[in-house]
Amino acid sequence: MKEDLELLMKMQSIDYDLGELERSKEYIPDMMDNLRKELEESERLYRETETTLSESKVAQKGLELEVGSLQENLKKLQGQMMAIKTNKEYDALVSQIDAVKESINEKETTLLETIEKIESLSSNIEDYKKKAEDIKTQNSRQLEVLKQKMDSVGTKVKDKEVERHLIATQVPKRTMSIYERVRKVRGGMVVVPVRKRACGACYKALPPHRIQELKRGDQIISCDNCGRLLIWQDGLSED
């Protein structure tokens, strides 16, 4: 009977591996999605910064041309001051000059802000580019590893199922039925070694007569508290 329990311990190890493989079918795709999103975000940030920088440089040139044109117009208007003959003409010309000056001030303020923006973008774009390249290298490598793991899951599951079937053929059907019933209720650990004369799972102390029965190893014994199958292992059980 102890031999059957030892086989079941091997089986529960296989069942644990099968559970991990099934869970990997869920978390590996999630990990791959996160890596792709991180890569896309880094590339998006770099592209957007590059586009904004290019647009800002075009805007700078446009503003410089507008300021230059306004300054030329201002010079012309100021040159007309000498030809003014009436107060009405003078007031009208002064009004035009003030309007041009105000427009120049507005354009120069916008130009200054644009230049500062270009300087800031220029200082950041290389960092964004390098970060995007680094993330692409790192994430592509990780994605390939995860893809290989995902592709191998099916094969590993089949191999584990073959191992499980071989063990199942060596264990009496009644014992297998008990194992499956406990596993359905408790999951994970089904066969547990006695530790310090107590159940290795729930730590419920075992009476002396139960210890003797376990040592004999001639019957299936369950923990009265948690229902798991108990096995006596010399050395470990006496600790």
> For residue range 49-94, what is the model confidence (pLDDT) as tens digits?
999 999 999 999 999 999 999 999 999 999 998 888 888 988 999 9
Given this model, what pLDDT does residue 237 score? 62
- Mean pLDDT, range 198-207, rounded to an integer: 93
- Mean pLDDT, range 100-120, rounded to an integer: 96
- The pLDDT > 90 percentage for the chain reads 85
Tell me if 229 sits within 8 A of 191, measured CB to CB.
Answer: yes
- Mean pLDDT, range 33-52, rounded to an integer: 96
Tell me if 179 sits within 8 A of 167, measured CB to CB.
Answer: no
Across all residues in the chain, what is the average pLDDT? 93
- Mean pLDDT, range 211-236, rounded to an integer: 89
Say how far residue 227 (Cα) sits from the centre of its chain.
39
Reported pTM: 0.62
The C-alpha angle with vertex 44 and arms to 38 and 49, in degrees rounded to 5, equals: 130
Tell me if 49 sits within 8 A of 128, measured CB to CB.
Answer: yes
> For residue range 131-172, what is the model confidence (pLDDT) as tens digits?
999 999 999 999 999 999 999 999 999 999 999 999 999 999
Given this model, what pLDDT does residue 233 score? 87
> For residue range 210-222, what is the model confidence (pLDDT) as tens digits?
999 999 888 999 9
CA–CA separation, 144 vs 127, rounded Å?
Answer: 26
CA–CA separation, 115 vs 213, rounded Å?
Answer: 87
Q: Is the pLDDT of residue 16 over 90?
A: yes
Given this model, what pLDDT does residue 239 score? 57
Six-digit token string for 132: 């995007």
Given this model, what pLDDT does residue 188 score? 81
- Give φ, ψ of 221 to 5 degrees: -120, 130
* Coil, strand or helix at 235: coil
pLDDT band at 40 (very low <50, low <70, confident <90, very high): very high
| CATH 1.10.287.1490 domain position(s) in the chain | 21-168
Q: Is the pLDDT of residue 238 over 70?
A: no
**Architecture in CATH for domain 21-168:** Orthogonal Bundle (1.10)
- Mean pLDDT, range 180-209, rounded to an integer: 92
